[in-house]
Each structure stands twice: as C-alpha cells, then as structure tokens.
Structure 1
Amino acid sequence: MTDAAFEKLALDEAAALAAQLTVKILEGRDAYYEGDAPIYSDAEYDGYIHDLETLERLFPELQSQDSPTQTVGGRAETTLFDPVEHLERMLSLDNVFSIEEFEAWATRAERDAGRHVDYLCELKIDGLAVNLRYESGVLTTAATRGDGVVGEDVTENIRYIRSIPGRLSGTGHPPLVEVRGEVFFPVEAFRELNAAQAEAGEKVFANPRNAASGSLRQKAEGKNAAQLELMHARLGRLQMLVHGIGAWRNPPVSSQSRVYELLQSWGLPTSSHYRVLDSVPGASEFIGYFGEHRDSVEHEIDGIVVKIDELALHDELGATSRAPRWAIAYKYPPEQVNTKLLDIVVSVGRTGRATPYAVMEKVRVAGSEVRQATLHNQDVVKAKGVLVGDTVVLRKAGDVIPEVLGPVVELRDGTEHEFVMPENCPECGTPLAPAKEGDIDLRCPNARACPAQVRGRVEHIGSRGALDIEALGEVSAAALTQPTVPVEPPLLTEAGLFALTIDDLLPIEVFVRDAETGLPKEEEDGSVKLRTPFRRNPSAAEKKAGLIDQQASSNALKLLDEIAKAKTKPLWRLLVSLNIRHVGPVAARALADHFGSLAAIRSASREELAEVDGVGGIIADSLLDWFAVDWHVHIVDSWAAAGVQFATPGHPGPGAAERADGVLAGLTVVATGSLDGFTREGAQEAIIAAGGKAASSVSKNTDFVAAGPGAGSKLAKAEQLGIPVLDAAQFRLLLEKGADAVQPDEAE
C-alpha cells in the first residue's frame, strides 16, 4: 500500500492491519534468528517493517514499547546456549532503500550535529552479529546479539574460527572492551558447503547468513565422532570481520576509522573495503559502485552501512530504542530475473542421490551467467508449482546459489507440462529407490557400476582431503569413467585406477561436465564442450602434413606419475580415498595411527574399532559394513596388487601408534592454528614422522601444543592446564631435536 492509501484508513482498520503486520514480522524474526530458515525474503520482511512504521507514524496510538519497530530482532531466551548479558546494548540499524532516502537521513544527521561530518562507508555483510568481550587482551566470552541486551554464549564455537584471536597482539589493551562484528561464510566456502549438504542429502542453506548462524549455533553434546568432525570443519571455514565497539571506557581514538586501525593492530580482522568520504555525493557514489559490483566481493553483502566517522557525535546524536541515529543501512534490492524453464533433468551424484535440476535459457543474475539451478527433489518441484516450459522467476539465494522461486502463471500459453521424476537412474537405468523407508530423496542403488557414482568417487580420490592427486580432477575423472570415446571406459570402477597405462588414456574424448550437476557444459554457441584431456594437440604444421598420431599430453604423463607416487602416500589418505561412509580425515588418522595397516583394521572386531579415540560405534559399523561388500574388497585387492602400500612403514602394530625410534617417541603433541611453513595435515604428519602421537584435542596427557594464529580453544585449554605452548620456530626445533631442545622458559 502507498502512504496515501494508509492515510485513508480508519483507526480500527489501521489497528487490524498493524496487528497482522506484527504477527508476520515476529514470525519472520523467529524463523530468521532462531530457526535459521527464513520464511520471507529480505525485501518482503523490510516491506512489512516499512508498512508498520508508516502506520505507527500516521497513527501514533498504535505504537507500543514492544512493537517490532522499537525492538531489536532476535530473542533473549534460548534453550541451546547459556545467556550472556552485553555490557552495552547491541543495536540494529535503520534502513533506507533509495539514494533520496539516504540523502534525507544525511541532511538530518548534519543538521542535528550542527556541523559538517565525514562519512565512513563500509559493506553490509550478510552474516550473524556477534559480540566479543576481551579482558586485558584475552577473549573471555563471545555472544550472539539476541534481543540486543542478552545474547547466546557461543564462546566455545567461536574459538574454532581461525581469524578470531584468543589473545590480542600488540599493546595498549584496555582492561575491558567489547568488539562487534559479523560472522559469515565466504562466497566460495558457502558454495562448497551447500554442494556438500546437497550431495549428502542434508539441508541446503537458503543464504550465507543462515548457513553461518546454523553452523555457529551448534552444540557438541550428543554428536558422534563423524558429526563432530563435520561440525568443527564447518566452524573452521567461518570468518569474521569486526566493525564496531561496545563497552570501552575512554578509547584513545577520536574516529571510527581510527578504531578500525587500532583493532587491526591488535590482530582483529577488519574489512579492507571501507572508505571515509567527506561528502554525501561521495558516499552515494560508494553505494552506487558496490551496487553494480556486489559479485566482486569475497563475502555476501546486502547493502552499505554509512556511519558518521567522529566518535564524539555518536554520543551527541544518541540512539532510538533499536538503532543509532549516527548510522544507517542502505539496503540493495534482491536481484531476480525472469527466464524460460526449458527442461528439468536429473543428475546422480557420488552417493547415488538423484537430484532434479532446472535447465533454463541463459540469463545474467547477480553478476554471473546462470543456466542451471537445483530443485533438490521431486517434492520441491511440486511445491514450487513449476511446469516445463514456464517462464520462471530466478534469483540467487544470497546472491550465490541460483534458486527458482516459482512460475509466472500469467504467461502460460498451454504448452507447458508437468515434470515426472524418472523411475530409473538416468545414468545406468537401475530403478531408483529411497535409501530407507520414509526418505523423500531417491537414490540409485547401483553403487558399484553406476557411471555417475564411479565418476564422483574417482574425483573424490584425487581431492585434497584424500590422495591429493592434482591431475585427477573433474575433467580427468569424467574422462576415465564416462568418455564419449572409447565405448568402454578405462575405469568401470575405481579398482583399476592404479593399473592405468598410457595406452588406456590416449583414445579418450569426453564432455566437460559441471562439477555440481554432472551435466555436460556448453560452449557460447550452445554446443557441448568436448575435450581430449590426455592426447597432445598437434601443431598446425603436423595437421597440414597429416601427422596426427596419438601422442600423450603432459597432463596424461603427470596423471600417471602422480598416481604412481600416490601408492606410497600415508595410510590415512588411502582410507579416506576408499569412500567409506563417515571415514573422513580425522577418523582415518585415528585408525591409521592405532592399527598401522589396513590388514589390522580389517581383522579388528567392532569393539576394537570403536575403542579407538575418534572412531566410536557408528564408524566401526560403517567399516564392517564396507568390508562386507565383495566389490569393495576387490578394490583393495586390486590396489594392493598394483603396488599400493596399505601399511605405515615401521609401525609396531595395533595399539602402539608411536614410533619407538623417533625424537618424539612417547610424546603427545597437538598442532593448532596456522603454523608458518606447515599445513594442518603437514604438521600432524611431521609429528608422526618424528615418532610422536599427533592428537586432535588437548588433555592432561598432552606434552606440547604447537599453536599459530587462530589457535582458538585448544590454545586456551593448553594455557589452562599449564601445557607448554610452542610457536612455529619452536615446533620445528622440537621436530628436529626433541623435547630437550625446547626449554620451559622458551614456551609461551
């Protein structure tokens, strides 16, 4: 409704409408803040707030102290986490939606300030607001915003975020300070998270903000080892940027921009995208620039925050019950477009899950060309009410994941038709079925021979978390399992991977497939991309002379060389590469360290497997189930026959993970944070190579903790228990010369 339409309402009509809007806003807040699953788009929610504000301006008697326009989103009560009271209120921000509204706000602010002001302009991160409390430079608590007065204690989970220091660097730390910021998933990490969630048949997040909230607001209690590994991995991929302060008595700076410089000097993560501008036109230009370049930023943004830079004016201008008067949020409209739904096709992933995908006329949305979008399962297709041939509304959920919102029914001409989920796997023809009774998702049960599943598993073998074979990626995996030439692929299953020869690779031609959907990619002219990944392209002179012999490309030689080297990679990597459910890097390391060989793992009982620290009953059952399948055993036997070493050299056998002859024999070391010169896996492997036990958690049995930036809760636990903490240089010394080389006074 327009303002003029609101003005024509009688008081009772306005009261009824206000009540309806209040219900919608509160329902939306609960879904957004508590359920991490929004029921309204940002634009819809902002529209409800705007309409209620208009009604309350025209009918002041309708406004109450607990109106959604007067309170901060979120609730104080929580059953998940302990409550934390903020030392200073965490406010929300008022919004504007046009340059004219922004200029009107700036005019009022300068009028109330009584002088010219500078504007600090920064990106509005679509994340979860968090308050960090530091006492004498040490992080003591971290809490969500909640209702602005009381939030949820998420301190333990925050410590897994590498960018947040447990102890501030630099000097001049106040006795007590609150630092505010946004926790978020970077765009690429969010894409990978949702792809993994969809592949595993788990919930796909609507946008990065909900993914960040859902990841941070998790409890460790009741989770098994595999679930804990997944939880900690998700937390470790979160990032935070700080953008303000709460309680801080007499800060030694006079402007918001100087605050950022000081926070950065303390090791806190600040954005590089903010600017201080001396005019309203300059601030408006900043808003316009990022409105056109939203896709150029590493994290998701939904607008621009403009603050008066001078801190003294923050106190002078004050705040309303929910928002400061010295700052405003310019909200960008969500970008959505109309396009034609040409078809709905079904893709099969590594786990056999059959996923419908919308194939549309190519259209540009949120800075990129889009032609495909997941529809998750057949129930989602029905719920959205889309027909093949419809004109559909497409948006990028959070400007990242393409999402079909629904059809434009008014544009139907009668040629549209319903999508019917296929009864058989589109890749191998096997009848699709739910994994268990009641599942919505359908899966292809032909795990052994379904080309799509084999392709996914082979690509997983080459991934960084498994055997880390650089030349075995998306195109190579497709070429080996689903080539257009030859008719029979080099790999019917992964069993033959380590026996590949150059003759197996040369005749291959393959469609380049989309990493997410598994569908063939297209060239600009609409033709399908075709590659000969392992054959050298002849020169122009050779083509002219008719010399187009089958010659191996450097990529083919590199692949075979890396596969050969992978035969002697650590046992834990081989375990991950076998694609055993729940056996990720953490569980695989624990198994490899304890048993030392695949033969010992296979001969172990359920009880012996489950007793291993980091394994447990669920993973033990998964191991037993996997080895009970004959074609799984064939993979292991084939790899072993090809020279794969399924044993750790020099390992003394089950129950004795430490090497007796290393400089760290008998010592338990935990590596955490970013250690200069080491990857996380490299640090753990170095500990094991030196004869020590590379533990994943700190306990009273830990001898040393090697900690770099972002060490988090493990560092705090080590300090609490009085365990020596080493930096990267001391860690290298420990690995080379042992514990005697690291004197107690050298440990931090």
Structure 2
Amino acid sequence: MDPKWTEDYEALIRKIEHHNHQYYVLDRPEITDYEYDQLMQRLLALESEHPDLKTPDSPTQRVGSAPLAAFSQVRHAVRLLSLDNAYDANDVEAFIKRIDKELVTTAAFVVEYKIDGLSVALRYENGHFVQGATRGDGETGEDITENLKTIRSIPLRLTEPRTLTVRGEVFLPKEGFRQLNEEQEQNGLQTFANPRNAAAGSLRQLDSRITASRPLDIFVFDLLSGELNAKTHDEALAELNGLGFKVSHGRRFENPDDITKAVIHAESERHSLPFDIDGMVVKVDSFAQRDQLGTRAKSPRWAVAFKFPPEEVETTLRDITVHVGRTGVITPRAEFDPVEVAGSVIARATLHNQDFIREKDIRIGDRIVVQKAGDVIPAVVRVLTDRRQGTEQPFVLPTSCPECGSATHRLEGEAALRCLNPNCPARYRRGIEHFVSRPAMNIDGLGESIISLLIANGLIRGIADLYTLKDQRETLIRLERMGEKSADNLLKALEASKENPLWRLITGLGIPLIGAQAAKQLARSFDTLDGLMAAGAEELVTLPEIGAKMAESLVSYFSDPVNQETIGKLKAAGLNFKGERTAQTGPQPYAGKTFVLTGTLSGFTRDEAKAQIEALGGKVAGSVSKKTDFVVYGTEAGSKLDKALSLGVASLDEAEFLAMLEAAKA
C-alpha cells in the first residue's frame, strides 16, 4: 500500500481525536458539527477504499458494533478497592487526625466530587485503548470494551505512547438523563430510576449501538498502574489530563479546616452541577505517603468518602390520575401536597405502571416519601405504612381508556397498559403537544388547553392541521379564551415555525426512539427529509448514535402510509425540509465560545437565547468553569453568577447580551 495513504489516514485520525478532545473533554469546540461530520465521512471513505488501514482504535469504532452473545470476564491486574464512608464533619475530621497521627510528615489532601455512576478500569498499551472493564467485585469484572469505545470523552489514543491502567466513573449528565427518560416514557418503555441506573444499564448493553445512542460521559480519577512521572495525586490528574483524559474535579488542601469546609459546602452546590454526585472523596495527595498508610482488605487507608444524606421529603398522596400518551401508554401519576425538594417545588410524580404501584403498596391518602431522582425527576421512594389511618384507598388502572372508552390492553412482555385505539383523541392530542413543545418545534401559544380547545371545535386532528389554521382566522377569533390578538400571535408563531431547522421537525414527528440528539445527527447527515425517508436501515446504522433499533424505527415510521401523508402535508405547507448540509448558514462569530445562562431573562425564554447563541456558532453549557467565555444573567441570578465573578468570567446582563447579539449579526 502507498505509504501516503497510511500517513493521510493517521493524520486524519489525529485531527478527529483532537476535535473530540476539544469538544468532549475541554468543552471548547473549534469547528461546527457539520465540519466534524465531514471529517468523519472522509475517514469512513478511506476505510472503505482501504480496509487494511482500519485500526481497532479508529474513531469510526465509536458508533457501536453487532450485539455480543455475552460479556467475557476480566481479571483485574490491580484490585479496584471500595472506600470507607464518612457521614458527617466529625467523621472527616477523625479521618484527617488518624492520617496525621500515622504519618511522620504532614499530609496534604485532594478533595473530589464523588460521581454517582459506574466504576470502570481502562487499559492502554503504547498509548492505544485495548480493554475496558467494570469493577465487578474488585478482582473480576466484565469486558465492556466495545461499549466504552462509544463514549467520546474516552481517548482511543493517548497523546503519548504510554502503557497504563486508569480508573474512572462513567455517568449520565442530568440533562441527558432527563431526555433519556422522556424518550423512554414517550415510547412506552420502562424509565430509569436514577442517572446511575441509566449509566449502568447503558454500559451493560450487549448491543453497543444502543450504548452509542446515549450521552454517557466519564471522569478519570485514579492511576491503577503504569507509566506516569507524577509523585502526587494532584500531579497525576494534571498529567492524565495532558494525555487526553477527562479527569475528576480535584482541589488540593493542606489546612484540615479548609477540607471540612469544602466537603460541607459541596452539599449546597450539588444541585447546580450538571451531573449527579452523592458525596465527596478526601484522599491523601502523596503517593509515597499512601504506600506508608497501606490498605485494608477492601479499602485504602488513605481515602474516605463523605456521603451526602439523600434529600427526601414527606407529603400526603391526594390522588392518582392517569395520563394517556401519544403511543397509547396509560401512565398513573401521583398527585401530592406540594413540597420543596432539591431546590424546586414538586406536586406530582410518575408511578410508571400497575406493577410499580403494587410492589410499593401505594394507596390514595398515604403518607409518602418523595425525592428527585438525579436531582431531576420527582419520584415516590416509599410509603409510610405505619402512618395509615385505615381510610387509604388502593388504586387499580382502568380497564377502559379514560379518553375514548376503548378497552385497555397489556401486551405480552410489557409492563405498560395501553389504549390501542389509533383514533383515541388523547393519542393525537399528545402527538400535537409533543410537536409544538420546546424540545421540538417550539411553537408559542399552543399549550395543552388551547390544543384541547382546537380539537374540541374540530379545527385540528393532527399536526399537519396546524398549518391550515391560517384559513380559519375568523373561527379562531370567536373561540373562548382566544380573541383577535391571541389568534394573530398563534398564526404568526406557526408561520415562523416553518423556518425551523430540520432537526426540530424530525423531533416533532415523534418517531419512536428518536429524540432531539438523534434528530440533530440525522439532520446533519442528510441533505433533505426526503433523503432521510428514502434511507434504508443498513445506511442508517452507519451514522454515529443511530443503533439498529433506532434505524428499524425510522424505516418503519417512514414506511407507514399515514405518516407519509402527514409529511406530505407538512411539505406542502412550506416547512423546512433541508438538512444542515444544504441549509443556508450565516456567519459564526461565536464559534468555539461557551456561554452559560442563569436567572430569568425578560425578552427571551432560555431556549430562545440558546438558539440565538447556537445560530451564531456558540455553545451553551449548564455550569460555569474556567473554560466558560460568557455568563448571561437575568433577574434572580444565583450561584452561577457568583462563580463567574469569582473566576473572572465575563458576565453580561440582558441589555449587554442584546447589544452583543446585534453586533454579531451586523
């Protein structure tokens, strides 16, 4: 083979891995998603033309592969220890005093977030990722290499040819967890109890293409063995970061009082973090001192985990209502006295299905304990059965649909109860609600009550009917709670939505298993919606983040004559069918810039401000760090603004943000 092909191939891999590192590790993208996809397409083409070039650590291997029959066992060369726990400040102080007593010289400590995820070991040989395994019992784990390859913050090649094994925690960010559970519920699938369960379930998929479709991330927090120059943990984290790893957030302390304060303070800031933590870890910094302290049978003597108490609140369950989704799934919901949990007031939580209600023995009138799973999703944890008065009422899901009266069914192998009537008003109402929602077409003025009003008056039955409302303005004006101004605003919003990017339309169609992230990938990969509709499953599974089940769902959806008719009407109405490759793009003055939004903006919703920033090439992150370029703040801005000021990050009020937008567009 011509050596030039090998040189080009290696250069292209280095370039792609550089941009992976910039985006997924440093949170500082240097190119657009489209430009990145073009690089990946060039790599795929090279590997197709010259199969001998393909290496096991090629970036193309991140999309997942065919299902395994089972995971093989891996014997860890170095035991993966667990940590002793501390539950209050006194325990932490006692740990520090013990360390000082046992060591000849004074110790410094590193304090890190205790990420609530799944612990894994990553092995590299000469800089190449060769194996990844779960912790298991600490001595033997499962080989999940193919699944770990799909996580883009894990480098497949290090920046130097080192041989080493590191330990990390794989997790699902809070926003990714929320979106995943939303998609699970919309598709009638079991939702995950918390981000940790979701991460663990994703990593233990025998089909790695499913893992690739989920937004998993990792923090590396320990060197288990191998070639590093570092003499301390703090130095090791910096060195590992230089090799390409996304490392844990560690702060070094020498004063014991500062350590205790940092641990206690972390509990107050946990809700503002974009990922879930269940405590803090305090570690001796010096490797030499760690060797002196040694280990117990299952835990090191040089570290302790301070565990946060779970934030659980008691309340009274007043009712259980049922919700009919757009796929016909009938979901029970707990309605309880409002309580504040993890920084916000909640008054309802999903009860998933009849099995869940029966297993927890939930009855109307019970005193219950609620929490937020992953600080995001309200959940009923348990029932206080010893507080029952004898008046509590058991609940059974209805045998007929509360919306249309059709008999309900529980399909074999499913926990969900369904209404199978395709003409059930709730099903197409929920479909319309999803279509106009913020994550999809983001059409103002179409809340649940207005949609119900339009359906009740025979003005709409499906999503395509929304774009016929312009011909019924006079009827709209006469509707209750509408009026001339509201009707005109609604029609204006519908007209504006025709210019939405294609990914919003794909999301709004409500295709099973296809959420906003997958929709964005599809919009980047096809010139038009027509091109996507014509694609076969074999072509679709070659795309990043699109697994076999997702491909099958797309093909099935676009093959349905009813769906084809709906899409035809949307096209005739003038909606944008162009993908990112053919859509007109303006200047990108914010390319590589990261923004954080906090507080309430008077002239924008959060999604509108985000869209403005992204349209100009910027990225919106959920938390403030040294890598943040701008914080945009409104009224009632809180800890994010305080952190920005402490880090010296540029902060813009709404007027300054508007002026900046106008200048960028000029």
TM-score interval for Structure 1 and Structure 2 normalised by the shorter chain: 0.5 to 0.7
Q: 1:508 to 1:210 in 2, by over 3 A?
A: farther
Assess, with a 3 A threshold, how the Cα gap between structure 1 residues 598 and 366 changes in structure 2: closer, same or farther: closer
Is 1:253 paired with 2:230?
yes
Matching residue within 358, 374, 380 for 2:350: 374
Residues in 1 aligned to 2:275 and 2:450: alpha-carbon distance in whole angstroms: 35
1:327 aligns with 2:307: no
Could you tell me which of 330, 335, 347 is aligned with 2:323? 347
Give per-residue Cα distances to partners, 1:685-739, cap 9 Å, x unaligned: xxxxxxxxxxxxxxxxxxxxxxxxxxxxxxxxxxxxxxxxxxxxxxxxxxxxxxx
8 A contact 1:130–1:143 mirrored in 2: yes
Which secondary structure state, in structure 2, belongs to the residue aligned with residue 304 of structure 1? strand
Relative to structure 1, the CA distance from residue 306 to residue 347 in structure 2 (aligned partners, 3 Å threshold; closer, same or farther) is same
SS at match of 1:396: strand
1:472 counterpart (404, 427, 443): 443
Is the CA contact (8 Å cut-off) linking 1:583 and 1:619 kept in structure 2?
no
Residues 284 and 79 of structure 1: is their aligned pair in 2 closer, same or farther, counting only changes over 3 Å?
A: farther
Q: What is the SS of the residue equivalent to 2:225?
A: coil
User: Is 1:83 paired with 2:18?
Assistant: no
2:463 match: 494
Q: Deviations over 1:87-126 (max 9, x none)?
A: 4322111112232222222211111112322221111111
Post-superposition shift, 1:509? 9.0
Contact 1:455 / 1:481 at 8 angstroms: preserved in 2? Answer: no
Partner of 2:64: none
**What code does the residue aligned with 1:476 have?**
L
Whether the 8 Å contact between 2:134 and 2:143 is mirrored in structure 1 is yes
1:102-181 equivalences under 5 Å are 102-169=92-159, 173=160, 175-181=162-168
Q: d(CA) in 2 for partners of 1:119 and 1:561?
A: 56
Match of 2:365 in 1: 389
CA RMSD of aligned residues (A): 4.1
Q: 2:176 aligns with which of 183, 189, 192?
A: 189
Conserved 8 A contact 2:153-2:217? yes
SS state of the match for residue 120, structure 2?
strand
Query: How many angstroms apart in 2 are the aligned matches of 1:617 and 1:403?
Result: 28
Q: 1:269 aligns with which of 212, 230, 246?
A: 246
Q: Kindly tell me: are residues 326 and 628 of structure 1, through their superposed partners in 2, closer, same or farther at Cα, counting changes over 3 Å?
A: closer
| 1:575/1:588 contact within 8 Å kept | no
How far apart in 2 are the matches of 1:338 and 1:476?
Answer: 35
- How far the C-alpha of 1:438 sits from its partner, in A, is 6.0
Residue 233 (structure 1) aligned with residue 210 (structure 2): no
Aligned AA (2:167): R
Q: Say how many residue pairs are matched.
A: 510
Equivalent residue in structure 1 for 2:220, among 210, 226, 242: 242
Gap regions ≥5 residues in structure 2: 1-67, 542-546, 583-590, 594-666
- Tell me how far apart the structure 2 counterparts of residues 647 and 277 of structure 1 sit (CA, whole Å): 54
Relative to structure 1, the CA distance from residue 373 to residue 179 in structure 2 (aligned partners, 3 Å threshold; closer, same or farther) is same
Task: Give 1:447 deviation, angstroms.
Answer: 3.3
The answer to whether the 8 Å contact 1:610/1:617 transfers is no
Is the contact between residue 514 and residue 550 of structure 2 (CA under 8 Å) also seen in structure 1? no
2:408 is the alignment partner of 1:433 = yes
Match of 1:203 among 190, 193, 201: 190
Kindly indicate whether the alpha-carbon contact (under 8 Å) linking 1:341 and 1:390 is maintained by their aligned counterparts in 2: yes
2:540 is the alignment partner of 1:560: no
The offset of 1:362, in angstroms, is: 0.9
Aligned to 1:550: 485
Partner residue, 1:715: none
Q: What is the alpha-carbon distance in structure 2 between the residues aligned to residue 179 and residue 505 of structure 1? A: 66
Instruction: After TM superposition, list the pairs within 5 Å mapping 1:637-676 onto structure 2.
Output: 638-643=569-574
Task: Name the aligned partner's letter for residue 566 of structure 2.
Answer: I
Match of 1:214 in 2: 201
- The alpha carbon displacement at 1:393 in A equals 2.0
User: C-alpha displacement at 1:256, in angstroms?
Assistant: 1.4
The answer to whether the 8 A contact 2:467-2:494 is kept is no
Post-superposition CA distance 1:428-451 (Å, at most 9, x none) = 233242253564422222333524
Cα gap change, 1:508 to 1:361, in 2 (>3 Å): farther
Q: Which amino acid aligns with 1:215?
A: S
Q: Which amino acid in the other structure matches residue 241 of structure 1?
A: F
CA distance in 2, matches of 1:405, 1:134: 41
- Secondary structure of the residue aligned to 1:354 is strand
Q: 1:353 offset after TM fit, Å?
A: 0.7
Question: Which residue is 1:445 aligned to?
Answer: 420
2:395 matches 1:419: yes
How far the C-alpha of 1:676 sits from its partner, in A, is 7.1
Q: For 1:536-590, what per-residue CA distance to the aligned partner results, in whole angstroms no more than 9, with x for missing partners?
A: xxxxxxxxxxxxx626676752431222x36xx76x9867654455678589969
Question: Is the Cα contact below 8 Å between 2:230 and 2:236 reproduced in 1?
Answer: yes
SS of equivalent to 1:246: strand
- Higher-Rg structure is 1
Q: CA 1:490/1:85 → structure 2, altered by over 3 Å: closer, same or farther?
A: same
The percent of aligned pairs where both chains have the same amino acid is 34
Aligned partner of residue 231 in structure 2, secondary structure: coil
The aligned counterpart of 1:545 is none
Q: Is the 8 A contact 1:480 1:489 kept in 2?
A: no
Cα deviation code 1:330-386 (max 9, x no counterpart): 112222221110111111222111110111111122333221111111232122112
| Bigger mean CA deviation after superposition, 133-142 or 305-314 | 133-142
Contact (CA 8 Å) 1:349, 1:452: kept in 2 or not?
Answer: yes
5 Å-filtered alignment, 1:16-35, equals none
Q: Alignment partner of 1:312: what SS?
A: helix
Note closer, same or farther for the CA distance 1:275–1:472 as it changes in structure 2 (3 Å cut): same
Amino acid at match of 1:214: G
CA–CA separation in structure 1 for the residues paired with 2:538 and 2:389:
64
Q: Name structure 1 gaps, 5 residues minimum.
A: 1-77, 222-227, 511-531, 536-548, 602-607, 649-657, 660-674, 678-748
